[in-house]
Every structure is written in structure tokens, then in C-alpha cells.
């Protein structure tokens, strides 16, 4: 009977300190009895977790602070992370991924409400962060991306109410920021973009009620959604890199922000002043 790594695709290993994963066969358990045609489920979470080398079926033996560890490490062969982590697993402060991760998607609500999660580095192969995947992670202060990221889309409310997040640098590959994706990130002051950005859409309410002070948008941006900078009272400067390709500015995009009409780039002013002009900066935020 063919040997295969039954848990390499659906297991996680929890370790007690950051750094390289321990060299242990516990991560690569083999099942000699598994039929050769058995499908390998490459999503997580499922019913089995490996904690310090011990199998814990259905998370039954994991207490509020399992083994006093704080870092959840996920094996390289996991391709998709979906919602379904038990309440006990939300006590981890960091999430790490084994080298050469095959992960391409972090699914909707996957890590939502991980209240003490402090940091995560998104693997380079991840192409999509789905809706609400880190929503209400109130302690999340550090979000970084591996070099040469393939990330294309950040979904609706992906980082909604991540109130500890102060800065982020968006990979050049990202094409769309979904609606509400950084809304109510009240500590978010700095938002940077890698060079040669492909970003074309900033969705409605994307940065509403954040603490952005200045932002320089890539020239590739074509759409600023409604209310995208609404309530950003600290925002005093908005600029574009190079020759802006902006085509659409949604209603009340800058309502309640600190920017005055005269301070907006010419391209933005032209769009605002043509056709039906939305409520703009410095004016009442009343509906």
C-alpha cells in the first residue's frame, strides 16, 4: 500500500517560539493503511490538529491556553484556509507558515475575531484575501507580505476594525481593495504602495474612519468608491504618482476628511466638478 502524508495537507503544528519550524516527523505523519485513491483535502481547518507533536482530534483537548504556546504554524501543503477554527484557537498571538507554502487563499472570516492575534506575514503565493478574513482582529498590529507577492484582491471588510494596525505596504500585484476593507482601522496612519502598482479600484468605505494623514495613490487607480475616505479627519494630503488614470470618484468620497477641495489633485477636482458633484471635503458629512 502506498504511503502518503495524510496530515500534511490538513494539519497545523503549534510551537512555542517564532523562527524555523522544529525538525520533527510529527508534521509529516504517514498512514500506510490509506488507500492509494484516497483524496487529499488541502483545506484547513478540519477535524485534526497536531499540537507539539500530539494529535488532538476535533480540538477536544485544547484548553483556552493550550500548552502555553502562542504561535500557530501551518504546514506548507495547506492550500486554502477557511472559517471554522474553534474558539480555543483564537488565543494565538501570531500565525506562521512553513517555508514554500502552497497557500493561495485565505477564505472568508478565516481569522475573524482572533482578538489577541498580533502579527502575520502573508505567504507570497496567496492570491486572494476573502471577505472578513481578519475582521475585528483588534490586536493585529503587523501585517506584512512575502516578497514577490501574487496577491490580487483584498475582499470586503478583510481588515475591518483592526484597530491596532498602524501601517501597511500593499504589494504591487494587488488590483482591487474591496469595500470596507480598512474601515474603522482607527490607528491606521500610513498606507504605502509598492512601485509599479496594478491597483485600479479602491472600494466604497475602504478607509472610512481611519487615521490616515497622507496618502499617495498609484497612477493606475481608476476608481475611488463612495465614502472611501469619509471621516478620515486627520487626512490632509492626497496625491497621485505620475499621470493619474482616475476616471471615477464616488459620492462623499472625502466627506468629513481634513482635505479641502483646493488641496486635491487636479484630476480629482475635475471629476468632482463635472456632472453631479458629490458632497466633498470640508463640507458637512450629513447624509
Tell me whether residue 287 is exposed, middle or buried, using C-beta atoms within 10 angstroms of its C-beta: 0 to 12, 13 to 18, 19 or more. exposed
* Range of lowest pLDDT (94-103, 117-126, 189-198, 216-225): 94-103
CB 158 within 8 A of CB 129: yes
Distance CA 23, CA 213 (A): 45
Domains of the chain by residue range: 1-99
C-alpha cell at 220: 493606475
| pLDDT for residue 272 | 80
Q: How many CA atoms lie within 13 A of 234 on its CB side?
A: 15
| pLDDT for residue 153 | 96
pTM for the complete prediction? 0.74
Instruction: Please tell me the total number of residues recorded for the chain in this structure.
Output: 287
Q: DSSP readout, 267-278?
A: HHHHHHHSSSPP
pLDDT, tens digit (0-9, with 9 covering 90-100), for 35-76: 344 333 344 443 334 433 333 333 333 334 343 447 777 888
CB 139 within 8 A of CB 162: no
Distance CA 30, CA 52 (A): 17
- Most confident segment among 100-104, 121-125, 272-276: 121-125
Amino acid at each position: 500500500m502506498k504511503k502518503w502524508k495524510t496530515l500534511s495537507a490538513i494539519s497545523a503544528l503549534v510551537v512555542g517560539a517564532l523562527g524555523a519550524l522544529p525538525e520533527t516527523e510529527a508534521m509529516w505523519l504517514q498512514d500506510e493503511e490509506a488507500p492509494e485513491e484516497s483524496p487529499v483535502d488541502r483545506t484547513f481547518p478540519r477535524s485534526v490538529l497536531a499540537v507539539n507533536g500530539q494529535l488532538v482530534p476535533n480540538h477536544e483537548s485544547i484548553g483556552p491556553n493550550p500548552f502555553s504556546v502562542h504561535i500557530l504554524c501551518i504546514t506548507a501543503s495547506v492550500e486554502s484556509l477557511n472559517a471554522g477554527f474553534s474558539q480555543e484557537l483564537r488565543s494565538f498571538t501570531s500565525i506562521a507558515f512553513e517555508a514554500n507554502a502552497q497557500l493561495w487563499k485565505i477564505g472568508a472570516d478565516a481569522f475573524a475575531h482572533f482578538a489577541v492575534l498580533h502579527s502575520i506575514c502573508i505567504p507570497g503565493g496567496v492570491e486572494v484575501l476573502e471577505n472578513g478574513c481578519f475582521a475585528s482582529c483588534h490586536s493585529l498590529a503587523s501585517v506584512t507580505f512575502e516578497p514577490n507577492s501574487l496577491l490580487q484582491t483584498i475582499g470586503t471588510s478583510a481588515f475591518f476594525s483592526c484597530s491596532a494596525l498602524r501601517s501597511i505596504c500593499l504589494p504591487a500585484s494587488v488590483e482591487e481593495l474591496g469595500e470596507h476593507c480598512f474601515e474603522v482601522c482607527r490607528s491606521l496612519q500610513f498606507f504605502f504602495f509598492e512601485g509599479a502598482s496594478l491597483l485600479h479600484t479602491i472600494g466604497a468605505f475602504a478607509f472610512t474612519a481611519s487615521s490616515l494623514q497622507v496618502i499617495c495613490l498609484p497612477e493606475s487607480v481608476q476608481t475611488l468608491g463612495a465614502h472611501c475616505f469619509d471621516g478620515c479627519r486627520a487626512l490632509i494630503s492626497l496625491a497621485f504618482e505620475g499621470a493619474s488614470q482616475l476616471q471615477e470618484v464616488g459620492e462623499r468620497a472625502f466627506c468629513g476628511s481634513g482635505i479641502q477641495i483646493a488641496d486635491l489633485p487636479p484630476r480629482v477636482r475635475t471629476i468632482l466638478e463635472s456632472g453631479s458633484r458629490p458632497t466633498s471635503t470640508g463640507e458637512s458629512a450629513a447624509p
